[in-house]
Chains A and B, each alone.
Chain A
Amino acid sequence: MNDLVEVRAGVYHDSVSLMRVSQALTSRPEVAVAVVAMATELNVGLARDLGFELPPATPGDLLVAIRASSPAGLEEAAAELERQFAERVPAGGTSGTQAPPRTVRAAARAWDATLALVSVPGEHAFPEALDAIEAGLSVMVFSDNVPVEQEVVLKDRALARGVLVMGPDCGTAVIGGAGLGFANVLRPGPVGVVAASGTGAQQVTSLLDLAGAGVSHLIGVGGRDLSAAVGGRSTIRALRALDEDPATELIVLVSKPPAPEVARAVQELGLSTPVVPALLGPGQDDLTAATEKALRALGRDVPEWPSWPVPPGVAPGPAGHAALRGLYSGGTLCTEAALVAGTGEFTDFGDDEYTRGRPHPMIDPALRLEAISAVESGVVLLDVVLGHGSDPDPSAWLAPAIAEAGARGVAVVVALVGTDGDPQGLRAQAARLNEAGAAVFTSNAAAARHARLLLSRAGG
């Protein structure tokens, strides 16, 4: 076999960068399989399952395992690997004297920052986030899989320092116009958002933007912040901060229904700025309805939310046994869709169990593509979230999958969350998905209702 196996000690790249390298190698015709990853237990196991013989390695080492169809092909693949890595060496720092900082602590000493963004693997996030707090910086912890005890410690320390912890598992924030994590491009405006849900906040702020109302700041707090264990520590801090902010006229609070004692604490804050809750759950407004309430509270008109129905004749309704399959990248969007549709089997591919050791589905489409191709009949409902950080062109992989699904008699409905300012282009993406045969909605709730309607038409 033409195998190249190498363990490089002390070389680190993040999982998304390595996935891109692996993809670039695998896409070469002479390469049968390529694993370029940190030598974690998961990745080592993966390479062993593929039949590679591996020397001992630790999670701090880089693992390279490439199998090619010929010795020449292997040589070319190895050269491509080096090209890929050469591109990833950070610019500057080549003099040997100006090495980049190795911790947030060192970076904060050398440079005057206003906040830190931590997205290292969750088990390693705590030291970096604590560094930021101890340096007097607010910090967004994008990483997931951070233990709740560590979250509480971080938030207590932050409170004592007068800074804020956004997260862990905080997918989005927009602070002073800067989009952090997965962030839509939002026009500036009067609405401040505090969100325990990343994609929920992206839905609300994207709709606000489409309605012409802008956002002052979008402050993420992490999915567990309003739980009893965390007690709304960051939510309360963020609400107070937005209440003080002269640019914020109205606050929207996006969350799952909070623990009762936390809800009470939030209500008793006595803020002078009105707060519109968008608390997703049975008997609550959906996110679109909550956004509409906020618009009316601002005295603005509620527009008709853009959607792109299936052109007649492009795709038939679902044929055969009609069931609904929800394949989501956003947890809150998934919950909302399941609530609105009231039926079907829903999977949140952004959940921890799918992201341990691999990138988020908003970056890596592999798992969802596999799931779409496995649906033989009925209706597929899925979300596509645009903005910075997300896949630069999701329709490129999704449109062919939609067309194939259509050919199998599967109807596809897409909730497309994004704004006209997003780098992917909301309308261009919508058009391509629609041309491939999908019904596309900017409101997730509307998409779910449409999916239910398709099912009922099919007599499901």
Chain B
Amino acid sequence: MTLSMLYGEPRVITVGASVLEEALDRQAVPQTRVDWRPPLPGTSEALARVLADPRREQANATAVGRLLSARPQLVGVRPAREVLGLEPGTFFHAGPPITWERASGPMRGALIGAMLFEGLAATPEEAEGRLASGEGVALDSCHHHRTVGPMAGVVSSSMWMLEVLDAEHGGTAYCSLNEGLGKVLRYGSYGPEVVDRLRWMGEVLGPVLAATLEVTGPIDLRSLIAQALQMGDELHNRNRAATSLLLREIAAAVVEAAPGRAAEVLRFVNGNDHFFLNAGMAAAKVSADAARGVPGSSLVVAMARNGTDFGIQVSGLGDRWFTGPAGVPDGLYLGGYGPDDANPDIGDSTITETSGLGGFAMAAAPAIVRFVGGDVSDAVAATTSMYEITMAEHPAYQIPGLGFRGTPVGIDVALVARTGLLPVVNTGIAGRVAGTGQVGAGLVNPPVEAFTAALTALAAA
């Protein structure tokens, strides 16, 4: 076998001692220098074991290949009790599993609101008492049920769910319907206006959208997301283009399916720039789920927060969660709110970053960079740095400003440990006190220990 380095002009990648790099410069040998730093403290042995695993390269290629080839389609809107078998008194929530005792203000607020919405309590006090005693109440993580929910992510049996099918691999994922901004359940509000809106969504919005999808047939979310990226969305904190595109897809069918209710439904969707977020999250969830369960793979298949813990799951490690404390986002605050009012990071919406959108696609969304505290060059730097910790570039999700380069997709636990670069997450900020609602939006980093713990587990697997 010919050894190609012996023929042709040497071109050298250098990593390490600058004295050796200078020696190449003096010989005018072309070189690219790696800006190397030591890995996260205490990870070098686990890194060597994980990288030496003979399954890793192929396992990662398989896992990320599935994530990239998923073809999410919006196929239906159905009640949670029907599609998830969710009984009254059972609630799914965002992030890794959590108990009422450890739940933060907005998580508690959303659970109280869901109890009121389901008619399981007459007053917030009664709801709180029932939740605290645990009597007739069960909590579980959305992720354990092919489901994701933004912010508190609370799902109860009467809520209507977006149903997204992966036409490539056959998986299905669910996400609730987006309520809009302001005083909403997902930010922990539970006042009468919140519960009234949920009732309207259950009685009108859900059934109308279900009938609408009967008319349209499956809506191709992969292509819709690809278009929205080229129109300035990053699909986590900015969904204006995607929502507009979705509205175009469904408007005529809404009128056909429910002429009497069409105006109020279209007005509601049109009035909420984040309406698409939940569909995008279900699309991301079904894509990431396709990559689960590949032995030896170090691919992150879920990142999620419950307002107390930030957890990740890894393809080669089954359904185990690796957690660390959720951080407080760094961002801009609404009205008179400030950092003291902020709850730690919360929500399953980090599934967007897990699938190469959100913070990873910041360079596609110059319009929001100031909202999350930065300028356009910061957005480009955020996206380009994520190529360092991801396995692939998305073939369909492209960023015009980077020469239509695919978004960075497929977080590799080993690359996070090697570079110390943590996933960039765009997020909303919930108020700390139950019932407050949204107080701001910004950027947040996951806790390092979630990644080092996952790496250690991979080394032992």
**A interface with B by C-beta (< 8 Å):** 10, 12-17, 38, 58-60, 88, 90, 95-97, 99-108, 110-121, 123-124, 126-128, 130, 132, 134, 137-138, 142-143, 147, 150, 153, 162-164, 175-181, 183, 217, 237-238, 240-242, 244-245, 359, 363, 388-389, 423
Contact = CB atoms under 8 A, between A and B. Distances in A.
Nearest to B2: A244
B13 to A, nearest CB: 4
Contacts of B32: 100-101, 107, 110-111, 113
B35 A99 contact: yes
Given A16-B17, A111-B13, A132-B13, A127 B48 contact: yes
Interface in B378-423: 378, 380-381, 384-385, 387-388, 414-415, 418-421
Contact of A176 (B6, B48, B378): B6
Contact of B13 (A38, A59, A137): A137
A113 B13 contact: yes
A96 B23 CA distance: 27
Nearest to B3: A241
B48 A117 contact: no
Contact of A10 (B37, B380, B381): B37
A178 B10 contact: yes
Interface stretch (B38-46, B186-194, B279-287, B311-319): B38-46
The CB with the most chain B CB atoms within 10 A, among A12, A127, A137, is that of A127
Identify the 5 closest CB pairs spanning chains A and B, nearest first: A119-B16, A388-B23, A241-B3, A178-B10, A100-B35
Nearest to B52: A153
Contacts, number: 209
Chain B residues touching A, range: 35 or more
B2 A241 contact: yes
A17 B1 CA distance: 39
A179 B6 contact: no
Interface in B6-47: 6-20, 23-24, 26-27, 29, 32-41, 44, 47
Nearest to B383: A97
B460 interface: no
Contacts of A142: 16-17, 20
Given A97-B384, A114-B4, A114-B10, A388 B36 contact: no
Nearest to A15: B17
Given A14-B17, A103-B15, 6 more contacts: A13-B18, A126-B48, A163-B4, A176-B5, A178-B12, A181-B23
A17 B51 CA distance: 29
Given A103-B418, A113-B13, A175 B34 contact: no
A96 B381 contact: yes
A175 B6 contact: yes
Contacts of B223: none
Contact of B384 (A99, A120, A124, A163): A99
B57 interface: yes
B388 A388 contact: no
Interface string B85-104: 00000000000000000000
Contacts of A143: 16
A96 B33 contact: no
19 contacts: A60-B420, A90-B33, A90-B35, A101-B32, A111-B13, A115-B13, A126-B51, A127-B47, A127-B418, A128-B16, A134-B57, A175-B5, A175-B10, A178-B12, A179-B23, A240-B1, A244-B2, A245-B6, A389-B20
A428 to B, nearest CB: 17
B377 interface: yes
A257 B380 CA distance: 55
A116 B13 contact: yes
Nearest to A161: B1
A88 B6 CA distance: 32
A205 B91 CA distance: 75
Contact of A117 (B7, B13, B387): B13
A38 B38 contact: yes
B5 A114 contact: yes
Contacts of A108: 13
B218 to A, nearest CB: 35
Contacts of B414: 127
A217 B27 CA distance: 16
A59 B41 contact: yes
Contacts of B37: 10, 12, 60, 102
A115 B5 contact: yes
Given A10-B420, A142-B20, A100 B33 contact: yes
Contact of A363 (B4, B19, B52, B380): B19
Contacts of B15: 103-104, 107, 116-120, 128
Contact of B387 (A106, A162, A177, A179): A106
B8 A96 contact: no
A230 B135 CA distance: 65
Given A99-B381, A103-B34, A128-B36, A389 B10 contact: no
B452 to A, nearest CB: 12
Contacts of A237: 3
Contacts of A134: 57
Given A14-B18, A102-B419, A104-B13, A96 B48 contact: no
A178 B27 contact: yes
Contacts of B419: 102-103
A117 B40 CA distance: 22
Nearest to B385: A99
B6 A107 contact: no
Given A176-B5, A176-B6, A116 B17 contact: no
A164 B44 CA distance: 24
Contacts of A110: 32
B59 to A, nearest CB: 13
Nearest to B393: A109
Contacts of B57: 134
Contacts of A14: 16-18
Nearest to A245: B6
Contacts of A150: 48, 52
Contacts of B5: 114-115, 137-138, 163-164, 175-176
Contacts of A423: 26
Nearest to A166: B5
Nearest to A40: B38
Contact of B19 (A100, A175, A389): A389
Interface centre among A103, A111, A244 (most CB of B within 10 A): A103
A102 B36 contact: yes
Interface in B315-355: none
Contacts of B23: 179, 181, 183, 388-389
A117 B3 contact: no
Given A111-B32, A118-B15, A389-B20, A103 B27 contact: no
A96 B16 contact: no
Contacts of B52: 126, 130, 150, 153
A117 B20 contact: yes
Contacts of B388: 101-103, 106
B36 to A, nearest CB: 6
Interface centre among A102, A128, A177, A237 (most CB of B within 10 A): A102
A134 B61 CA distance: 12
B27 A116 contact: no
B13 A180 contact: no
Nearest to B50: A127
